[in-house]
Structure 1
Amino acid sequence: MKTKVEERFSEFFENWMCQLHEYLQHLQRASEDYRAKIGCEHEQELQASVSKVTQHYKDYYTIKWALAHEDVLAFFCPIWISPLENAYSWVTGWKPSAVLKLVNSIRINGILSSSLVELTQEQMRKIEALRVKIRLEEERVEREIERQHVTGWKPSAVLKLVSSIKMNGVFSSSLVELTQEHMRKIEALRVKIRLEEEKVRREMERQQSGCS
């Protein structure tokens, strides 16, 4: 059974993807026209297409952020994406560097009909600078997660707290009113996080054994 937030975002996401497909097709045509014949008119059309796509992504995160305030758990176990996409989830979404790896793979393998094959050296330089910046941010987040593990705090601790509050009926807490569907999702998330914690623990033990 879907929660209200899941229903609303699923419907939004479906429409958003359809609109994105249209915008990207228009952007590709504008890009091809610009490469075929450079001119002020074509450049303005290309800039307008880029602005539409950029704004479309901004709208996505604006809606996602607003609905996450209503039901954040829906975004930890999203039902509107495929199991493969879920497998690559990282902090309620795609790991940012994954898309840059895809760009690099498409360019290196020379996939036909892809404009990525024709990227200039300047464009590649900017992509590389962005990749380095994103990777540094990912490493910062990963170090913080590792630090929390080392100091004894684990992500699963917050879920234990949620369960404790609900069981003890802490006054004035909205957690007491969680539905069975919410609790099912919390349990699924708890199991997922617990498996990740075990994976991290085993990796740390392996590294310690290698150093000794």
Structure 2
Amino acid sequence: MDRPTETCNPISTINHGVNFETFINGWLIRQQNLHDQLLQALNYPENIDHNDEGKQYQALIDQVLCHYQQYYEEKSIAARKDVLVFFSPPWFTAFERSFFWVGGFKPTFVFKLLDDSSVEDLTEEQEREVQQIKSETRREERALDDKMARIQKTLASPPL
């Protein structure tokens, strides 16, 4: 659906330098406000001017679409600056980040992406450092896997 671009003022053009965590916190508040407006329009149609009903609904829909456009534009800008932050978002709670782990998206996955990308521009020293970080990450990951397995075993076995 084509919308006039003047109705959407992307936040990224307004807030240069704002980190994504700050942006997402404000974005979620604005999303809740838009959600409330949508619910009010659905639940209280008598508050809508029937002469301009279509325009009012369309304006609200345009605001919601613009809101999501802002999210994806800002996310794209942030990913270009530091894509790794999206592998373990600091704005997620520890509980939310655990879903990455449970879903198989472990830290070593980043190294698989690096290996698959055929990076050929690394110096020998950089390759050694990457291998060292990779082995440390695997070691930490195994230790955490073992700890999680022990916890799971404790929860699964009936108390005596």
Structure-2-length-normalised TM-score: 0.51
**CA–CA distance in structure 1, aligned partners of residues 83 and 45 of structure 2:** 42
Instruction: Determine if contact 1:10/1:79 at 8 Å carries over to the other structure.
Output: yes
Q: CA deviation at 1:23?
A: 1.4
- Structure number with greater CO (CA < 8 Å, separation at least 6) is 2
Identical positions, percent: 23
Instruction: Determine if contact 1:30/1:45 at 8 Å carries over to the other structure.
Output: no
**CA–CA distance in structure 1, aligned partners of residues 86 and 46 of structure 2:** 40
| CA pair 84-57 structure 1, distance change in 2 beyond 3 A | farther
Residue 41 of structure 2 corresponds to residue 30 of structure 1:
yes
For residues 73-104 of structure 1, the C-alpha deviation after alignment (integer angstroms, 9 at most, x for no partner) is 001110112234334459xxxx9xxxxxxxxx
Q: CA deviation at 1:17?
A: 0.9
For residues 50-79 of structure 1, the C-alpha deviation after alignment (integer angstroms, 9 at most, x for no partner) is 211111011101110111011100011101
RMSD of aligned alpha carbons? 4.3
2:112 aligned to which of 147, 153, 157: 157
- Report the equivalent of 2:59: 48
Residue 26 of structure 2 corresponds to residue 71 of structure 1:
no
For residues 11-65 of structure 1, the C-alpha deviation after alignment (integer angstroms, 9 at most, x for no partner) is 1111111111111111211222338879343332222112111110111011101
For residues 142-191 of structure 1, the C-alpha deviation after alignment (integer angstroms, 9 at most, x for no partner) is xxxxxxxxxxxx944345688xx476137xxxx99xxxxxx79x949x94
Instruction: Determine if contact 1:34/1:42 at 8 Å carries over to the other structure.
Output: no
Deviates more, 1:70-79 or 1:22-31: 22-31
Query: Considering only CA atoms, is the larger Rg found in Structure 1 or Structure 2?
Result: 2
* Between structures 1 and 2, the one with greater helix share: 1
Instruction: Determine if contact 1:68/1:75 at 8 Å carries over to the other structure.
Output: yes
Structure-1-length-normalised TM-score: 0.40
Residue 29 of structure 2 corresponds to residue 18 of structure 1:
yes
**CA–CA distance in structure 1, aligned partners of residues 32 and 123 of structure 2:** 43
Residue 13 of structure 2 corresponds to residue 8 of structure 1:
no
Q: CA deviation at 1:8?
A: 0.6
2:96 aligned to which of 85, 105, 110: 85
Opposite residue 53 of structure 2, the aligned amino acid is H
For residues 94-152 of structure 1, the C-alpha deviation after alignment (integer angstroms, 9 at most, x for no partner) is x9xxxxxxxxxxxxxxxxxxxxxxxxxxxxxxxxxxxxxxxxxxxxxxxxxxxxxxxxx
**CA–CA distance in structure 1, aligned partners of residues 28 and 123 of structure 2:** 37
